[in-house]
Amino acid sequence: MIYEVRTYRLKPRMVPGFIEAFGEAYENGRKQLSELAAFFYSEVGPLNEVMHIWKYDNLGHREQIRAEAADSGVWPPKVTEMVYQMNSEIFRPFPFMTEFLSGEHGPLFEYRYYAVNPGTMPGIIKGWEDAIEARKELSPCAMGMYTDVGDINKYVHIWPYKSFEHRQQVRDESVAKGVWPPKGSPKGAIITQDNKLLMAAPFSPLR
């Protein structure tokens, strides 16, 4: 299983129009070939940014579906003039988190992405495996995954929250109870930490 994360920076004030055009093309043809895992747009962080996350069996499946989508005539959506920057990354899920969370869990989503030192990813994954069940008792994790193609030595974790206040409450409680962050990760593994706060589009399977 792989996930492709496509991140687009749009021209100012283009987000509503992009979501409308993308959603229409997705519902009217692209969805029948393969479904999204999620579609987000930025609320805090880089502005005018949208992120669509696609689930595939493997890279070959991705190429097959993308070719079929182009041949269908309904994809890609007519949004070229709205976009000025596009980026694509391929991720593999942590072995114990293969299925992307779906359903109503937001409306706020935190997308955290960390760069780590080479060779430390197996230890980070083990630390997560030991700690994640206790953390999920406080709030669910939508996905934990690491790069396979793109910026290597990077992993992402996505967390849904009911509000900004709920996010802070859960984070404070996880530290107070000593269940998070994971204690088993290699010391000094993380180089940089970044995050974005996102909202989900109406057609996103995770909202």
Question: Rounded distance, CA 178 to CA 84, Å?
Answer: 43
Residue pLDDT, tens place only, 130-141:
999 999 999 999
Q: How confident is the model at residue 186 (pLDDT cuts 50, 70, 90)?
A: confident
Torsion from C-alpha of 199, 201, 162, 193, nearest 10 degrees: -30
Domains annotated on the chain, with CATH = 2-200 (3.30.70.100)
Of 155, 137, 135, nearest to 93 (Cα)?
155
The whole-number average pLDDT for the span 153-182 is 97
In order of 19, 26, 38, 106, the CA distances from 204 in angstroms are: 10, 10, 5, 11
Single-letter residue type at 122: P
Residue pLDDT, tens place only, 29-86:
999 999 999 999 999 999 999 999 999 999 999 999 999 999 988 899 999 999 999 9
Of 4, 205, 3, nearest to 105 (Cα)?
205
**pTM (2 decimals)?**
0.95
Q: Does the pLDDT at position 21 exceed 90?
A: yes
Residue pLDDT, tens place only, 116-131:
999 999 999 999 999 9
Q: Give 200: exposed, middle or buried? Use CB within 10 Å, 0-12, 13-18, 19+.
A: buried
pLDDT for 162 equals: 97
Average pLDDT, the chain: 96
> Angle at the Cα of 14 (from 33 to 105), degrees rounded to 5?
55
pLDDT for 123 equals: 96
Residue 26: strand, helix, or coil: helix
In the structure, how many helices (H) and strands (E) does the chain have?
A: 5, 8
pLDDT for 68 equals: 95
Q: Are 114 and 154 in contact (CB under 8 A)?
A: yes
